[in-house]
Structure 1
Amino acid sequence: MKTQALALGFLAAAAIGGVAWVFIYPLLSGERKAESRRANFAKSEPAARQVDRNQRSRREQVESSLKDLEARAQQESKVPLSVRISQAGLDWSTQKFWTISGVLAAACFFAAMFAGGGFLGATGLAFAAGFGLPRWILKFLKKRREKAFLRALPDAVDVIVRGIKAGLPLFESIKVVAADSPEPLRSEFLTIIETQAIGMPLGEACARLYERMPLPEANFFGIVVSIQQKSGGNLSEALGNLSKVLRDRKKMAEKIQAMSMEAKASAAIIGSLPPCVMFFVYLTTPDYISLLWTHPTGQLMLVGCVIWMTIGILVMKKMINFDF
């Protein structure tokens, strides 16, 4: 009897302990709260994944836009002559440019022959005047136009930022810049307005600014507007950051120019010494130095000296110019 009573008591205690383990222990130990927290976390995970996918999609759009702009810039590395003429701010045709170049070459050739420079010297002078001088003028005009554009671009971006913060659309802000800005910024933004008016998207019209004004700053502006048109975002903040970058780049360029002026002055003095010495020797003893352009050997030596001096000047120019 005692054995049966002990067995029944043990079974009853085991049953009560099992029921308590199943129903009471989870409440005391906090397992249900942990399971509830795990379930809530598992339910919120798809939302987090959705946000991550949205961010990844926008990042992929930005990367694809940058890759497209870089690929287009690489394809357009060889600029046609007509584009270079327009970049210089001239409305000439290519036929007019070649005509002026030919007239310059012929005039310099006959002037050199009349002065007794010989056929070889006259040919070299005609080549320099007809092929080199017009392109140097185009490059000079292009650089001067780009400097004027860079001086006005940060203020124009600030005007666009203030217009957007005031509630104006981007297109209307660009109209304000086109109406009040100096040249060449006015004509470039008027071209953006005209291009957008014929059906081109505003982002692509701003991105094409780099084709007419091949500057990193113009490329930055086109990239910011193009990405905002495709992906959205706070355009005023992006353009405000762009304005700060443009002003910092301007300060850096001025600092580099100030630091390199000594080297540029030295290069100018070294490059001008041979022709100056040649001129003063001609003033004192013209018969002594006139053999350089009257004798065939002297003409050959003179052409070689001009070539080597040109190479030296180009090397010095490459050493004192800084790209950033």
Structure 2
Amino acid sequence: MQFLILALLILLLLAALGYVFFFKSIESSNKTAKRMNSLRSDPKDRAKINSSRVDEKQRRKMREDSLKTLEAAKDKDASNPNIRARITQAGLKLSIRKFYTISIIAAVVGCVLGKLFLGLPWHMALGAGIVFGGGLPRWVINFIRNRRFKKFTLEFPNAIDVIVRGIRAGLPLNDCIKIIADDAEEPVKSEFLKLIESTQVGLTMSEATVRLYESIPTPETNFFAIVISIQASAGGNLSEALTNLSRVLRERRKMADKIQSVSMEAKTSAGIIGGLPFAVAGMMWITSPGYIDPLFVTATGHKILLVSAGLMLFGIAIMKKMINFKF
């Protein structure tokens, strides 16, 4: 008899402990079941759920359509811009006629330098002039363009923070952009001034940000254009979206700096390897002036120099591909 009583007490204790531990899950399941039963029985609630689902699908479709439109517009000429677009992206006030005039002058200078100072035959001097005139002006424009992109990328998160603070203070987006156009550093100042001018001639803000990406084709402006386009078409909390964008841009910058520091050893090694042949040639020219003269005064030497230059360019291009990290 005592054994039965003890067994019953143990069972009651286990039941009480189970109820204590599983009370919340039982209650939540009961509430869920009651809620589902009420939804099944109440047609108004079912209509609300269906309408919310339809609204969510419509918003998702609007976002997808806006993203497709933005991608089609920005990918039109961003992959390989022509020389006119590159001049504009570099921030230079240079016409196409002036650019080709400078290219012709550079070609003539390269040809004269190759003939008079290096003693190249006319056909090689002419080839050197063509390479000099066709490559040097474009290289200078690309250098200025990339440097401008880097300056814009450094200043751009600060501009987004200004927009976020202005929106939280109750200012409209256009007024926030005007503040940036007045007080920001170049080139952010001039690019946001173009945004204001675009909206003043009738473009929407999303269309103006697409033009911003055409002027500064970087991932940062692409993200900004996507955020503005989605907010304009589907709505949403713009300040929160831009806050997240600013944080992402700063994290990208930290990652780029980290990659730069990690890859510095490889870049230094590549620079030493690339400059070593020229250093050896210079030392030989100083110590034994006549030793390498046949490379410059004979036809065989010219061929050797031409092949060597081609191999050097090929090797430098490979090393540049290996040490440049894009993410």
TM-score normalised by L of structure 2: 0.85
Q: 1:258 aligns with which of 254, 257, 261?
A: 261
Query: Is the radius of gyration larger for structure 1 or structure 2?
Result: 1
- 1:256-280 Cα offsets, whole Å, 9 max, x none, are 1111110000000000011111122
- 1:146-182 Cα offsets, whole Å, 9 max, x none, are 1110111001000000000000000000000111101
Question: Structure 1 CA distance, aligned partners of 2:74 and 2:268?
Answer: 34
Change (3 A) 1:174 1:35: closer
Q: 2:162 aligns with which of 151, 155, 159?
A: 159
> 1:145 is matched with which residue?
148
Q: Is the 8 A contact 2:39 2:46 kept in 1?
A: no
> 2:191 is matched with which residue?
188
SS at match of 2:290: helix
> 2:132 is matched with which residue?
129
> 2:206 is matched with which residue?
203
Name whichever of 36-45 and 279-288 sits farther off.
Answer: 36-45
> 2:121 is matched with which residue?
118
Question: Structure 1 CA distance, aligned partners of 2:270 and 2:144?
Answer: 23
Question: Structure 1 CA distance, aligned partners of 2:39 and 2:176?
Answer: 52
Amino acid at match of 1:78: N
Amino acid at match of 1:256: I
Question: Structure 1 CA distance, aligned partners of 2:225 and 2:103?
Answer: 35
Q: How does 1:1-324 map to 2 (within 5 A)?
A: 37=38, 40-76=41-77, 77-115=79-117, 116-324=119-327
Per-residue deviation at 1:37? 3.5
Question: Structure 1 CA distance, aligned partners of 2:61 and 2:237?
Answer: 18
Amino acid at match of 1:55: E
Mind listing any 5+ residue stretches in structure 1 that lack a counterpart?
A: 1-32
Change (3 A) 1:198 1:287: same
Question: Structure 1 CA distance, aligned partners of 2:195 and 2:42?
Answer: 50
Q: Is the 8 A contact 2:73 2:210 kept in 1?
A: no
Question: Structure 1 CA distance, aligned partners of 2:152 and 2:314?
Answer: 31
Question: Structure 2 CA distance, aligned partners of 1:104 and 1:183?
Answer: 30
Question: Structure 1 CA distance, aligned partners of 2:220 and 2:314?
Answer: 31
SS at match of 1:130: helix
- 1:202-239 Cα offsets, whole Å, 9 max, x none, are 11101211100010001111111111111111000010
Mind listing any 5+ residue stretches in structure 2 that lack a counterpart?
A: 1-33
Question: Structure 2 CA distance, aligned partners of 1:200 and 1:71?
Answer: 18
Change (3 A) 1:232 1:280: same
Q: Is the 8 A contact 1:87 1:142 kept in 2?
A: yes
TM-score normalised by L of structure 1: 0.86
Q: Is the 8 A contact 1:124 1:303 kept in 2?
A: no
Per-residue deviation at 1:41? 4.0
Question: Structure 2 CA distance, aligned partners of 1:323 and 1:50?
Answer: 44
Amino acid at match of 1:215: T
Q: Is the 8 A contact 1:118 1:294 kept in 2?
A: no
**Kindly, what percent of the aligned residue pairs are identical?**
47
Q: Is the 8 A contact 2:164 2:239 kept in 1?
A: yes
Question: Structure 2 CA distance, aligned partners of 1:186 and 1:107?
Answer: 37
Amino acid at match of 1:230: S
Per-residue deviation at 1:319? 0.8
